[in-house]
Protein backbone atom coordinates (compact mmCIF):
# COMPACT_ATOMS: atom_id res chain seq x y z
CA UNK A 1 0.00 0.00 0.00
CA UNK A 2 1.29 3.51 -0.84
CA UNK A 3 0.42 6.10 1.78
CA UNK A 4 0.58 9.84 2.31
CA UNK A 5 0.65 10.95 5.94
CA UNK A 6 -0.42 14.49 6.87
CA UNK A 7 0.75 15.34 10.35
CA UNK A 8 1.11 17.95 13.10
CA UNK A 9 3.85 15.89 14.82
CA UNK A 10 3.20 15.62 17.64
CA UNK A 11 4.21 12.99 20.13
CA UNK A 12 1.59 10.45 19.08
CA UNK A 13 1.99 11.43 15.42
CA UNK A 14 5.59 10.24 15.28
CA UNK A 15 4.57 6.94 16.87
CA UNK A 16 1.93 6.51 14.13
CA UNK A 17 4.43 7.27 11.38
CA UNK A 18 6.90 4.81 12.94
CA UNK A 19 4.16 2.16 12.73
CA UNK A 20 3.79 2.80 9.00
CA UNK A 21 7.56 2.71 8.47
CA UNK A 22 7.66 -0.61 10.30
CA UNK A 23 4.79 -2.13 8.28
CA UNK A 24 6.07 -4.56 5.65
CA UNK A 25 3.37 -3.92 3.06
CA UNK A 26 3.35 -0.13 3.25
CA UNK A 27 5.41 2.57 1.57
CA UNK A 28 5.12 6.15 2.78
CA UNK A 29 5.14 8.11 -0.48
CA UNK A 30 5.17 11.48 1.29
CA UNK A 31 4.75 13.23 4.62
CA UNK A 32 2.96 16.59 4.58
CA UNK A 33 3.16 18.85 7.63
CA UNK A 34 0.62 21.23 9.12
CA UNK A 35 0.40 23.52 12.14
CA UNK A 36 -1.56 21.94 14.98
CA UNK A 37 0.04 20.61 18.15
CA UNK A 38 2.85 23.04 17.38
CA UNK A 39 3.87 25.37 14.56
CA UNK A 40 4.56 23.66 11.24
CA UNK A 41 8.27 24.60 11.41
CA UNK A 42 8.58 22.50 14.58
CA UNK A 43 6.47 19.77 12.95
CA UNK A 44 8.94 19.44 10.06
CA UNK A 45 11.90 19.31 12.49
CA UNK A 46 10.10 16.66 14.54
CA UNK A 47 9.40 14.53 11.49
CA UNK A 48 13.07 14.74 10.46
CA UNK A 49 14.22 13.86 14.00
CA UNK A 50 12.05 10.74 14.05
CA UNK A 51 13.05 9.67 10.51
CA UNK A 52 16.72 9.97 11.50
CA UNK A 53 16.27 8.01 14.74
CA UNK A 54 14.67 5.07 12.93
CA UNK A 55 17.02 5.33 9.95
CA UNK A 56 14.23 5.82 7.42
CA UNK A 57 14.95 6.28 3.74
CA UNK A 58 14.67 9.53 1.76
CA UNK A 59 10.94 10.15 2.21
CA UNK A 60 9.76 13.46 0.70
CA UNK A 61 8.59 15.86 3.43
CA UNK A 62 6.51 18.92 2.56
CA UNK A 63 5.80 22.04 4.60
CA UNK A 64 2.11 22.96 4.69
CA UNK A 65 -0.22 25.49 6.25
CA UNK A 66 1.20 27.63 9.05
CA UNK A 67 -2.25 28.74 10.14
CA UNK A 68 -5.82 27.41 9.93
CA UNK A 69 -8.00 28.70 7.12
CA UNK A 70 -9.45 31.46 9.31
CA UNK A 71 -7.03 33.89 10.96
CA UNK A 72 -6.51 34.06 14.67
CA UNK A 73 -8.09 30.74 15.59
CA UNK A 74 -5.06 28.51 16.30
CA UNK A 75 -3.73 27.62 19.70
CA UNK A 76 -1.16 24.82 20.06
CA UNK A 77 -1.21 21.98 22.55
CA UNK A 78 2.06 22.47 24.45
CA UNK A 79 0.56 21.01 27.63
CA UNK A 80 0.69 17.56 26.01
CA UNK A 81 3.33 17.88 23.32
CA UNK A 82 5.72 20.46 24.79
CA UNK A 83 6.64 23.74 23.11
CA UNK A 84 8.57 21.88 20.40
CA UNK A 85 5.76 19.40 19.75
CA UNK A 86 7.99 16.47 20.68
CA UNK A 87 7.82 16.50 24.46
CA UNK A 88 10.73 18.99 24.71
CA UNK A 89 13.03 16.45 23.08
CA UNK A 90 16.59 17.26 24.16
CA UNK A 91 18.59 14.85 21.99
CA UNK A 92 18.10 16.50 18.61
CA UNK A 93 20.93 15.89 16.18
CA UNK A 94 21.73 17.85 13.00
CA UNK A 95 19.85 16.36 10.06
CA UNK A 96 20.84 15.99 6.43
CA UNK A 97 17.18 15.89 5.43
CA UNK A 98 15.69 18.86 3.59
CA UNK A 99 12.13 19.95 2.90
CA UNK A 100 10.74 19.73 -0.61
CA UNK A 101 10.17 23.18 -2.15
CA UNK A 102 6.59 22.45 -3.15
CA UNK A 103 3.87 23.50 -0.68
CA UNK A 104 2.04 20.56 0.87
CA UNK A 105 -1.38 21.25 -0.67
CA UNK A 106 0.11 21.41 -4.19
CA UNK A 107 2.04 18.19 -3.54
CA UNK A 108 -1.14 16.43 -2.42
CA UNK A 109 -2.93 17.43 -5.63
CA UNK A 110 0.05 16.49 -7.82
CA UNK A 111 0.60 13.10 -6.19
CA UNK A 112 -3.09 12.19 -6.48
CA UNK A 113 -2.97 13.09 -10.18
CA UNK A 114 0.19 11.03 -10.69
CA UNK A 115 -1.34 7.95 -9.04
CA UNK A 116 -5.13 8.24 -9.16
CA UNK A 117 -6.91 5.62 -7.06
CA UNK A 118 -3.66 4.28 -5.60
CA UNK A 119 -2.92 6.35 -2.52
CA UNK A 120 -4.19 5.98 1.03
CA UNK A 121 -4.34 9.34 2.83
CA UNK A 122 -3.94 9.23 6.59
CA UNK A 123 -4.29 12.53 8.45
CA UNK A 124 -3.14 12.96 12.03
CA UNK A 125 -3.67 16.69 12.55
CA UNK A 126 -5.87 19.61 11.49
CA UNK A 127 -7.23 19.25 7.96
CA UNK A 128 -5.97 22.57 6.58
CA UNK A 129 -3.69 21.08 3.89
CA UNK A 130 -6.34 18.61 2.75
CA UNK A 131 -9.01 21.33 2.58
CA UNK A 132 -6.69 23.43 0.40
CA UNK A 133 -6.09 20.42 -1.86
CA UNK A 134 -9.85 19.92 -2.19
CA UNK A 135 -10.28 23.55 -3.23
CA UNK A 136 -7.35 23.44 -5.67
CA UNK A 137 -8.70 20.27 -7.30
CA UNK A 138 -12.35 19.37 -6.62
CA UNK A 139 -11.60 15.90 -8.00
CA UNK A 140 -8.84 15.31 -5.41
CA UNK A 141 -11.03 13.23 -3.05
CA UNK A 142 -12.06 10.97 -5.92
CA UNK A 143 -8.42 10.23 -6.75
CA UNK A 144 -7.64 9.07 -3.19
CA UNK A 145 -8.20 5.34 -2.60
CA UNK A 146 -8.86 5.58 1.16
CA UNK A 147 -9.02 8.50 3.61
CA UNK A 148 -8.51 7.76 7.30
CA UNK A 149 -8.37 10.58 9.82
CA UNK A 150 -7.77 10.94 13.51
CA UNK A 151 -10.22 13.56 14.60
CA UNK A 152 -13.69 14.39 15.73
CA UNK A 153 -15.88 13.38 18.63
CA UNK A 154 -18.53 10.76 17.92
CA UNK A 155 -20.63 11.54 21.02
CA UNK A 156 -19.56 15.18 21.51
CA UNK A 157 -17.01 14.14 24.13
CA UNK A 158 -14.17 16.38 23.09
CA UNK A 159 -10.76 17.31 24.48
CA UNK A 160 -10.58 21.07 23.98
CA UNK A 161 -11.94 24.24 25.58
CA UNK A 162 -15.03 23.71 23.44
CA UNK A 163 -16.04 20.63 25.42
CA UNK A 164 -17.70 18.88 22.48
CA UNK A 165 -14.79 19.44 20.06
CA UNK A 166 -11.73 17.25 19.45
CA UNK A 167 -8.40 19.05 18.93
CA UNK A 168 -7.69 18.37 15.23
CA UNK A 169 -11.16 19.54 14.18
CA UNK A 170 -11.21 22.36 16.75
CA UNK A 171 -7.95 23.76 15.34
CA UNK A 172 -9.52 24.27 11.92
CA UNK A 173 -13.27 23.59 11.85
CA UNK A 174 -13.71 25.19 8.42
CA UNK A 175 -11.09 22.86 6.96
CA UNK A 176 -12.78 19.85 8.52
CA UNK A 177 -16.15 20.98 7.18
CA UNK A 178 -14.71 21.35 3.66
CA UNK A 179 -13.02 17.95 3.78
CA UNK A 180 -15.94 15.93 5.16
CA UNK A 181 -18.18 17.57 2.57
CA UNK A 182 -15.73 16.83 -0.26
CA UNK A 183 -14.84 13.18 0.45
CA UNK A 184 -17.55 10.65 -0.48
CA UNK A 185 -16.27 8.41 2.32
CA UNK A 186 -13.90 8.86 5.26
CA UNK A 187 -12.88 6.65 8.18
CA UNK A 188 -12.81 8.45 11.51
CA UNK A 189 -10.91 7.55 14.68
CA UNK A 190 -12.53 9.77 17.30
CA UNK A 191 -11.45 11.03 20.70
CA UNK A 192 -13.96 8.70 22.36
CA UNK A 193 -12.45 5.73 20.52
CA UNK A 194 -9.06 6.92 21.78
CA UNK A 195 -10.27 7.02 25.39
CA UNK A 196 -11.88 3.60 25.00
CA UNK A 197 -8.64 2.01 23.76
CA UNK A 198 -5.67 3.03 25.92
CA UNK A 199 -2.53 1.07 26.60
CA UNK A 200 -2.40 0.20 30.30
CA UNK A 201 0.15 2.15 32.29
CA UNK A 202 2.03 -1.12 32.79
CA UNK A 203 2.14 -1.59 29.02
CA UNK A 204 3.41 1.97 28.63
CA UNK A 205 6.14 1.41 31.22
CA UNK A 206 7.20 -1.82 29.50
CA UNK A 207 7.49 -0.07 26.12
CA UNK A 208 9.34 2.90 27.65
CA UNK A 209 11.85 0.61 29.35
CA UNK A 210 13.09 -0.76 26.02
CA UNK A 211 16.76 -0.40 25.13
CA UNK A 212 16.55 0.15 21.36
CA UNK A 213 17.04 3.60 19.83
CA UNK A 214 13.37 3.63 18.95
CA UNK A 215 12.37 2.77 22.53
CA UNK A 216 14.68 5.47 23.87
CA UNK A 217 13.07 7.96 21.47
CA UNK A 218 9.62 6.82 22.59
CA UNK A 219 10.65 7.31 26.24
CA UNK A 220 12.36 10.65 25.61
CA UNK A 221 9.39 12.13 23.76
CA UNK A 222 6.46 10.95 25.90
CA UNK A 223 7.30 12.56 29.26
CA UNK A 224 5.09 15.61 28.86
CA UNK A 225 2.19 13.58 27.48
CA UNK A 226 2.40 11.07 30.34
CA UNK A 227 2.58 13.84 32.93
CA UNK A 228 -0.49 15.55 31.42
CA UNK A 229 -2.44 12.30 31.12
CA UNK A 230 -1.66 11.20 34.66
CA UNK A 231 -1.71 14.49 36.58
CA UNK A 232 -4.25 16.57 34.63
CA UNK A 233 -6.58 14.03 33.08
CA UNK A 234 -6.07 11.24 35.64
CA UNK A 235 -6.32 8.98 32.60
CA UNK A 236 -6.63 5.23 33.32
CA UNK A 237 -4.06 4.49 30.62
CA UNK A 238 -1.80 5.84 27.88
CA UNK A 239 -3.82 7.36 25.03
CA UNK A 240 -2.63 6.81 21.45
CA UNK A 241 -5.06 8.60 19.08
CA UNK A 242 -2.89 8.86 15.99
CA UNK A 243 -1.49 5.30 16.25
CA UNK A 244 -5.06 3.96 16.46
CA UNK A 245 -5.98 5.79 13.25
CA UNK A 246 -2.78 4.54 11.61
CA UNK A 247 -3.49 0.96 12.72
CA UNK A 248 -6.92 1.13 11.05
CA UNK A 249 -5.27 2.36 7.86
CA UNK A 250 -2.47 -0.23 7.90
CA UNK A 251 -4.63 -3.22 8.88
CA UNK A 252 -8.37 -2.64 8.28
CA UNK A 253 -9.07 -6.04 9.84
CA UNK A 254 -8.09 -4.56 13.22
CA UNK A 255 -11.32 -2.54 13.17
CA UNK A 256 -13.76 -4.65 15.17
CA UNK A 257 -16.79 -2.40 14.87
CA UNK A 258 -17.67 0.72 12.89
CA UNK A 259 -20.85 2.43 11.75
CA UNK A 260 -21.54 4.62 8.75
CA UNK A 261 -23.20 7.99 9.41
CA UNK A 262 -23.61 11.46 7.98
CA UNK A 263 -21.19 13.72 9.85
CA UNK A 264 -20.90 17.51 9.57
CA UNK A 265 -18.86 20.11 11.46
CA UNK A 266 -20.18 22.97 13.59
CA UNK A 267 -18.25 26.15 12.72
CA UNK A 268 -20.32 28.83 14.46
CA UNK A 269 -21.43 27.62 17.90
CA UNK A 270 -20.17 29.76 20.76
CA UNK A 271 -19.76 26.62 22.87
CA UNK A 272 -19.59 23.99 20.13
CA UNK A 273 -17.37 25.34 17.31
CA UNK A 274 -15.34 22.35 16.11
CA UNK A 275 -17.88 19.73 17.12
CA UNK A 276 -18.40 16.89 14.68
CA UNK A 277 -22.18 16.57 14.51
CA UNK A 278 -23.20 12.94 13.88
CA UNK A 279 -26.51 11.83 12.40
CA UNK A 280 -26.73 8.69 14.57
CA UNK A 281 -30.30 7.81 13.57
CA UNK A 282 -30.38 8.79 9.90
CA UNK A 283 -32.73 11.68 10.70
CA UNK A 284 -31.07 14.17 8.37
CA UNK A 285 -31.86 12.39 5.14
CA UNK A 286 -28.25 13.07 4.14
CA UNK A 287 -26.15 10.21 2.75
CA UNK A 288 -23.65 8.80 5.24
CA UNK A 289 -20.07 9.97 4.59
CA UNK A 290 -18.03 8.80 7.59
CA UNK A 291 -17.26 5.31 8.88
CA UNK A 292 -16.96 5.92 12.62
CA UNK A 293 -14.58 3.38 14.16
CA UNK A 294 -16.14 2.14 17.40
CA UNK A 295 -13.84 -0.73 18.39
CA UNK A 296 -10.32 -1.70 17.40
CA UNK A 297 -7.99 -4.54 18.35
CA UNK A 298 -5.81 -2.78 20.91
CA UNK A 299 -3.99 -6.01 21.88
CA UNK A 300 -2.63 -6.42 18.35
CA UNK A 301 -1.74 -2.74 18.24
CA UNK A 302 0.26 -3.19 21.43
CA UNK A 303 2.07 -6.11 19.79
CA UNK A 304 2.82 -3.81 16.81
CA UNK A 305 4.36 -1.29 19.23
CA UNK A 306 6.42 -4.00 20.95
CA UNK A 307 7.81 -5.07 17.59
CA UNK A 308 8.31 -1.49 16.39
CA UNK A 309 10.23 -0.49 19.52
CA UNK A 310 12.20 -3.72 19.85
O1 LIG B 1 -7.12 15.08 19.70
C2 LIG B 1 -5.95 14.31 19.51
C3 LIG B 1 -5.25 14.75 18.28
O4 LIG B 1 -4.77 16.08 18.45
C5 LIG B 1 -3.99 13.92 17.97
O6 LIG B 1 -3.80 13.89 16.58
C7 LIG B 1 -2.90 14.70 18.61
O8 LIG B 1 -1.63 14.48 17.98
C9 LIG B 1 -3.37 16.11 18.34
O10 LIG B 1 -2.99 16.47 17.02
CA1 LIG C 1 -1.65 14.67 15.66
- pLDDT value of residue 77: 87
pLDDT at 142 over 90: yes
Distance from residue 180's CA to the centre of ligand 2 (Å):
18
pLDDT digits (tens, 9 = 90+) for 187-244: 999 999 999 999 999 999 999 999 999 999 999 999 999 999 999 999 999 999 999 9
234 is catalytic: yes
Contact call for residues 108 and 129 (beta carbons, < 8 A): yes
Taking alpha carbons only, the member of 201, 204, 203, 245 closest to residue 221 is 204
pLDDT of residue 140: 98
User: What pLDDT is stored for residue 157 in this prediction?
Assistant: 98
Residues in the chain: 310
Confidence of residue 72 (pLDDT cuts 50, 70, 90): confident
Pick the catalytic residue from 234, 261, 280, 291: 234
pLDDT for residue 133? 99
Range 2-308: architecture per CATH: Alpha-Beta Complex (3.90)
Q: To test ligand 1's pocket by mutation, which of 5, 8, 130, 169 has the most ligand atoms within 8 angstroms of CB?
A: 8
Q: How far apart are CA 170 and CA 267, in angstroms?
A: 9
15 has a pLDDT exceeding 90: yes
pLDDT > 70 in the chain, percent: 100
Protein residue closest via CA to atom 2 of ligand 1: 167
Give buried/exposed letters for 225-247 (b at 16+ CB in 10 A, else e).
Answer: bbebbeeeeebebbbbbbbbbbb
What's residue 73's pLDDT? 77
The pLDDT, as a whole number, for residue 74 is 84
Mean pLDDT of 143-172: 98
pLDDT given for residue 194 in this prediction: 98
Q: What average pLDDT does range 270-286 have in this prediction?
A: 97
Cα of 229 vs centre of ligand 1, distance in Å, is: 13
The three-class DSSP label of residue 235 is coil
DSSP-derived pairing of the beta strands 199-200 and 119-123: unpaired
Contact 12, 94 (CB under 8 A): no
pLDDT at 202: 98
Amino acid sequence: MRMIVDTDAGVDDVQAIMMALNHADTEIAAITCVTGNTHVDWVTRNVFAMLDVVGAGPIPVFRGAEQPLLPGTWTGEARVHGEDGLGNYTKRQPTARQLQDEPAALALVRMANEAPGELTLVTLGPLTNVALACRLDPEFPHKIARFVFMGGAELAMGNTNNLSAEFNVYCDPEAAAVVLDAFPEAEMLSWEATVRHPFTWEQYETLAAGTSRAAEFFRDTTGSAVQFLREQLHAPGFYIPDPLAMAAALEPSLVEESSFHYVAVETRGALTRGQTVVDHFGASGRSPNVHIIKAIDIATIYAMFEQMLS
